[in-house]
Amino acid sequence: MVIALMTNNSRVHVSMLLVMLALLVAPLVSAADIDGVRLWRAPDHTRVVLDLSDTATFNYFTLNNPERVVVDIQGAKFKAKLNDLDFSQSPVKKIRVAKRNKQDLRLVFDLSVAVKPNTFLLAANQQYGDRLVIDLYDREAKPTVVKTAANNNGKRDIIIAIDAGHGGEDPGALGPRKAREKVVVMSIAREVKRLLDQIPGYRGELVRDGDYYVGLSKRRAIARKKQADLFISIHADAFTDKSVSGGSVYTLSQRGASSASARFLAASENSTDLIGGVALSDKDNMLATVLLDLSMTAKLDHSVLVGKEILREMKGVTKLHKNTVEHAGFAVLKTPDIPSVLVETGFISNPSEARRLTSSSHQKKLAKAIVRGTDAFFNRHAVEGTLVYWLNHNGQSLATKSGSETYKIKSGDTLSELASRYSVSLADLRRYNRLSGDRIRVGQVLKIPPRS
């Protein structure tokens, strides 16, 4: 009613006043504080993450002689501390902060060598606020050394790519008492590698060997570069219901997930690329999809088989969430020519399970179960040309180093565990000893069936 009584001149003055107010308020709304700075060193680049109070507008450029990367952020204020940053393994010598144009913020990265910078913004999510990520890629990439080690009689090792989930700015699932998934799974992965390297005919290769993030597609690429025969991704995830517990083994599903929890876990794991700053873009055309499906058929079959062996071993170490191998669309498992499994060692969101997962002794038991299951699979399915295949087909199974064809039952032994240990099927072990079930007694002597 009041507006209707205004003159044309009044309307013009009001409109101009509103525009002026908008121009004055806009920069105040968009200005962001830098509340924290974090730095990680990866094998091929250094990542710097600026924690922002809000989204920001920025630009960057490089300078030479001396080498520098300069980042300008509009209207920002620097409230973080730089004293705790460790530059020792990175090309960054120091970070300088100064005002620019009395309003904007300038960050100067003094470098020891030239780098290839890449910067991008990440929106706030359930774990972090807004972030500005600055990746400084090495210009001189370290040569990739692919090991095809020959052993006895010129036979090669079976190579296992061991992928510790998450890392760096992505801690993964969080549990009580500051339990972090990335720390738990890194410890288990290192123990898996240690155990594998002790077995003749095997070599473990860590996908990441430090606290830094690796994109999901890059994890698959690393496994291929290492010429892996098997890809094992290790996790300790979380669920909205803290009472959920138990270990699981997953393989890739080309259709739907096998359960609601499988869908939930796959969605949360696949979103870690967004946390790490890499957008998922699996946009294969029809021909590529057909070729991928054809190449994955045999790989998926072997993935299920090795998953069953690992799950059987885990049963003796921890409660299982599901007694069968589950299937879901995990992006990290989409390597066409390498059998791949994802091992959920437990739910770190469950308080009692979190205590076990952060225990060194339990981590070692889980690692041992993963290795035993892996060994059981390859004692049946090792490819020709490997030492494991040669030993098994010459009556020298790695699981029976003593050469004994009998075994005396001890307290705690189970028939399924013995079948796995000696790389024979449970059915063959029953049949060879004329057992109608799985019941055995301490002191009983079992005959071990011959391995073909």
pLDDT tens readout for residues 194-250: 999 988 889 999 999 999 988 888 888 899 899 999 999 999 988 888 888 999 998
As its CATH architecture, domain 404-447 has Roll (3.10)
Look up residue 304 and give its amino acid: V
Q: Looking at the predicted structure, is the pLDDT value of residue 119 above 60?
A: yes
Residue 291 CB partners (closer than 8 Å, separation 6+): none
> Which pLDDT value is given to residue 144?
52
Residue 339: asked if its preceding bond is cis (omega within 30°), the reply is: no
The class (CATH top level) of 31-138 is mainly beta
> Which pLDDT value is given to residue 205?
97
* 314/378 Cα distance (integer angstroms): 17
Q: How many CB atoms lie within 10 A of CB 409?
A: 16
> Which pLDDT value is given to residue 141?
63
Residue 267 CB partners (closer than 8 Å, separation 6+): none
Closest CA to 38 of 88, 74, 80, 78: 80
Q: Which helix (H) or strand (E) holds 222?
A: helix 216-225
Residue 155 CB partners (closer than 8 Å, separation 6+): 201, 385, 386, 387, 389, 390
As its CATH architecture, domain 152-387 has 3-Layer(aba) Sandwich (3.40)
Domain ranges of the chain: 1-28, 31-138, 152-387, 404-447
Structure tokens at 314: 């885990």
- Mind listing the pLDDT tens digit for each residue in 140-187? 766 555 555 566 667 899 999 999 998 988 888 888 888 999 999 999
For the ranges 195-204, 319-328, 389-398, the lowest mean pLDDT is seen at: 389-398
Q: What is the mean pLDDT of residues 269-291?
A: 45
> Which pLDDT value is given to residue 170?
85
Q: Exposed, middle or buried, 66 (CB in 10 Å: 0-12/13-18/19+)? A: exposed
Q: How many CB atoms lie within 10 A of CB 203?
A: 19
Closest CA to 57 of 71, 44, 43: 71
